[in-house]
Amino acid sequence: MERQKVKQLLSEMTIEEKVGQLTQFAGLFYSTQTNDVPVTGPVDFPVNDEIIETSGSVLGIAGAKKLIDIQKTYLEKSRLNIPLLFMADVINGFETIFPIPLGLGATWEPSLIEELQAVSAKEATSAGLHVSFAPMADLVRDPRWGRVMESTGEDPYLNGLFAEATVRGLQGEDLTQNSEHLAACVKHFAAYGAAEGGRDYNTVDVSERELREMHMPAYKAALEAGVKLVMTAFNTVHSVPATGNQALLRGMLREEYGFEGLVISDFGAVQELIPHGVAEDETEASKKALLAGVDIDMMSLCYSHSLTQLIKEKKLDESLLNEAVERVLHLKNDLGLFEDPYRGTSEKREKSTLGHASHKELARTVAEKSSVLLKNNDILPLTKETTIALVGPYADNNDLLGEWSIFGNMDETATLKDKLQEAFPTLTFAKGSDLYERNQDLLEEAIHSATHADVVVLALGEGRDRSGEGRSRSSITLSPSQIELAKKISELGKPVVVTLFNARPIDLTELEPYVDAILECWHPGSEGASAIVNLLIGDANPSGKLTMSFPRATGQIPVYYNAYNTGRPLPAGSEERFFSRYIDIPNEPLYPFGYGLSYASFEYSEARSNGDKFDRKQTLQVEIDVTNTCNVEGEEIVQLYIQDPVAEVTRPVKELKGFKKITLAPNETKTVSFEISEPMLRYHHSDLSYSSDPGTFYVFINGSSNCTDTNKLTITLTEA
């Protein structure tokens, strides 16, 4: 329908019908066939049929037949034939599940993320969905928070590239013409990742400068990529809950960033303005949320119960209601729903799309690229003739899809044991321990089974029940029973390779000395087991690098690479007292941002540049030679960091400004170059202006954030 007709349609709607467009409830309220609907928040409140029948969108339900039926029934009752919108969380895949986003981040390959998100969109739309609640662009620094798994990590620039790639992959070029794409929704606006103490839903208190410098870039990247929706966060921003925050939503998001799309609250967040202590009741919560610019109230009864009255009593201007409804109608129109409310969904299309072999193939490739080799004392890859004992609670465990795989199929997911025994038919297996509980019989059996092996592959980790929303932990170690198992197995004196399946950085300090290799596999998705076996036997070579630091201890949190120097930075190697340090552990994390090994090994030359001075109109070229010193091909992620050592405000010790992923044949050398230009040196000053200052900058090029002076250059931005 032509865009102008939306206004016409709006003018024909009653206030009640308009309010209906601004509410969203979970699929489980829709029909008896939907009692298998995943629940993503508290649902214990009374919703009557009238509310459901007038509500304009549905949350968290999918399946061609189901959604066609619901849409049909709905339209039969809709006076103006306005179709329903179906929204859900399609985060790392729909039925074909890819690694969790923290793993996707470790690929450092935004184009790959775009490709897999297009596959997710294809599957999700075949099952009738119109909107996905992705990308999650929250910057994360606290692995106690269960939701770090949904983020791509601790770097604003990298998060921005992934957010942009996700939007492009999900939305494609033209939503109206191409029903294999769906609308993306960037979340959680804003700074949800900064919850104090890593406790979910907790207070966020960041300065305006920190907000703009660290948290906003990734949301902005999604906006610039044309994302259709924005979801508000549960937390406060400058002491006002985001969902009722006019300065944040109307001020920053709409006026400053120019966002014209739809704003949806997070699950129940309008109602939560009451316990937050900024609204007395549902009426005041509704008023504050609409005034702030929240168009759709997801999963609370505030708008349904009070917006109509607020408008009729003229306590809220009807123009506010109209503009919100207009945005909902525009989204429906952009999706082509007025022409085809089913967007071409059919059971036939769904059947031929879901879990297609090419999707699975991609899932395997992505899982290979997302795994990070943290340690390897020359034991990996395993040679084919080796006798392997596979031990551990994650060895025969199909909990590999991650917490957001709500439409994935765990029962059909192969375990590491299934796939490893195809490669090693003589493999023995023993569980050794439950994931979180000790079991003496299992422990003894495992020791016995490992006795005759050449190498022990120990599959450890943390299940989906310990990660994701509402699953913060006060300690991020592996369970004591798994540590005990690793220690006992290591006493056998055989090489021990750990495959780690988890969804947050884990404190590996206690485990690390006892094992010879550690492969971080994350929750790797539907094809994760095949991918991990390929890596273990060297059919694939690890190339992933961490995008979130692995702390040495829970007490070291937050620890992140782009930190500040402080007035008393600890000199390298020093243990003196009056410096910024812990007296019981080093300052550095166990494994830093940007770190990850390969079966190849790479040597970096000294960095060089084509000059050391440049002005605002010029660029400088910096380059380095990287050599593969091994006889296997490998991929390396060459990273560019910049430090601004003297500025108007204190600046991070380094910031990622670029990277290149290269493939090097055995003994091959490649020159990797980067262009440095003035915009890369800009930052928010104390008055919040965003610009650069002339002066000296340090440039580092390395295979990790852990840079040394060898690959450091000094350059100068001149006044002219």
Site for ligand GLC contains 404 (CB under 6 A): no
> Nearer to ligand GLC by C-beta: 41 or 251?
41
x/- map, 570-609, ligand GLC, by CB under 6 A: ----------------------------------------
Q: Using CA atoms, how far apart are residues 525 and 100, in angstroms rounded to an integer?
A: 7
3-state secondary structure 195-227: CHHHCCCCCCCCCHHHHHHHHHHHHHHHHHCCC
Given 21, 40, 78, 371, the residue binding ligand GLC (CB under 6 A): 40
C-beta of residue 307 within 8 angstroms of C-beta of residue 283: no
Work out how close the CB of 68 gets to ligand GLC at its nearest, in angstroms, rounded to a whole number. 22
Given 98, 108, 267, 561, the residue binding ligand GLC (CB under 6 A): 267
Given 15, 41, 438, 608, the residue binding ligand GLC (CB under 6 A): 41
> Exposed, middle or buried, 608 (CB in 10 Å: 0-12/13-18/19+)?
middle
> Nearer to ligand GLC by C-beta: 137 or 515?
137
- Known catalytic residue: 266? yes
Site for ligand GLC contains 226 (CB under 6 A): no
Work out how close the CB of 187 gets to ligand GLC at its nearest, in angstroms, rounded to a whole number. 5
Read off the amino acid at residue 700: F
Site for ligand GLC contains 297 (CB under 6 A): no
Picking from 546, 682, 542, the residue whose alpha carbon sits closest to that of residue 106 is 546
**Which strand (E) or helix (H) includes residue 678?**
none
Picking from 117, 82, 71, the residue whose alpha carbon sits closest to that of residue 5 is 82
Work out how close the CB of 469 gets to ligand GLC at its nearest, in angstroms, rounded to a whole number. 6
> Nearer to ligand GLC by C-beta: 30 or 267?
267
DSSP 316: S
> Nearer to ligand GLC by C-beta: 24 or 482?
24
| Contact positions with ligand GLC (CB under 6 A) in 657-676 | none
Provide the CA 413 distance to its chain's centre, in angstroms.
22
Work out how close the CB of 470 gets to ligand GLC at its nearest, in angstroms, rounded to a whole number. 8
Site for ligand GLC contains 326 (CB under 6 A): no
> Exposed, middle or buried, 83 (CB in 10 Å: 0-12/13-18/19+)?
buried
DSSP-assigned states of every residue in 507-549:
B-TTTGGG-SEEEE--S--TTHHHHHHHHHTTSS------SS-
Question: 3-class DSSP state for residue 5?
Answer: helix
> Nearer to ligand GLC by C-beta: 228 or 349?
228
Work out how close the CB of 246 gets to ligand GLC at its nearest, in angstroms, rounded to a whole number. 22
What is the bridge-based pairing of β-strands 669-677 and 619-628? antiparallel
Site for ligand GLC contains 333 (CB under 6 A): no
Given 20, 27, 56, 60, the residue binding ligand GLC (CB under 6 A): 60
Site for ligand GLC contains 284 (CB under 6 A): no
> Nearer to ligand GLC by C-beta: 38 or 355?
38
Given 51, 86, 89, 532, the residue binding ligand GLC (CB under 6 A): 89
Tokens 């262009």 sit on residue: 675
Site for ligand GLC contains 266 (CB under 6 A): yes
Work out how close the CB of 357 gets to ligand GLC at its nearest, in angstroms, rounded to a whole number. 30
Read off the amino acid at residue 514: Y
Site for ligand GLC contains 272 (CB under 6 A): no
Given 469, 527, 636, 644, the residue binding ligand GLC (CB under 6 A): 469
Read off the amino acid at residue 709: D
DSSP-assigned states of every residue in 377-441:
SS-PSPPTT--EEEESTTTT----S-TT-TTS-GGGPPPHHHHHHHH-TT-EEE--S-SSS--HH
Work out how close the CB of 266 gets to ligand GLC at its nearest, in angstroms, rounded to a whole number. 5
Site for ligand GLC contains 219 (CB under 6 A): no
Work out how close the CB of 95 gets to ligand GLC at its nearest, in angstroms, rounded to a whole number. 18
> Nearer to ligand GLC by C-beta: 473 or 616?
473
Site for ligand GLC contains 25 (CB under 6 A): no
Q: Could you report how far apart the first and last alpha carbons of the chain are, in Å?
A: 53
> Nearer to ligand GLC by C-beta: 108 or 267?
267
Read off the amino acid at residue 273: L
Work out how close the CB of 133 gets to ligand GLC at its nearest, in angstroms, rounded to a whole number. 4
Q: Which residues contact 350 (CB under 8 A, 6 or more apart)?
A: 63, 64, 126, 127, 128
Work out how close the CB of 276 gets to ligand GLC at its nearest, in angstroms, rounded to a whole number. 15
Residues near ligand GLC (CB under 6 A), total = 10
Provide the CA 295 distance to its chain's centre, in angstroms.
25
Given 25, 74, 133, 697, the residue binding ligand GLC (CB under 6 A): 133
Site for ligand GLC contains 403 (CB under 6 A): no
> Nearer to ligand GLC by C-beta: 242 or 292?
242
Q: What is the dihedral of CA 103, 108, 110, 112, to 10 degrees?
A: -70
Active-site choice (89, 155, 266, 295): 266
> Nearer to ligand GLC by C-beta: 59 or 597?
59
Q: Using CA atoms, how far apart are residues 124 and 107, in angstroms rounded to an integer?
A: 23
Q: Which residues contact 1 (CB under 8 A, 6 or more apart)?
A: 333, 338, 339
Site for ligand GLC contains 189 (CB under 6 A): no
- Positions annotated as catalytic residues are 266
The residues that touch ligand GLC, with contacts defined as CB under 6 A, are 40-41, 59-60, 89, 133, 187, 266-267, 469
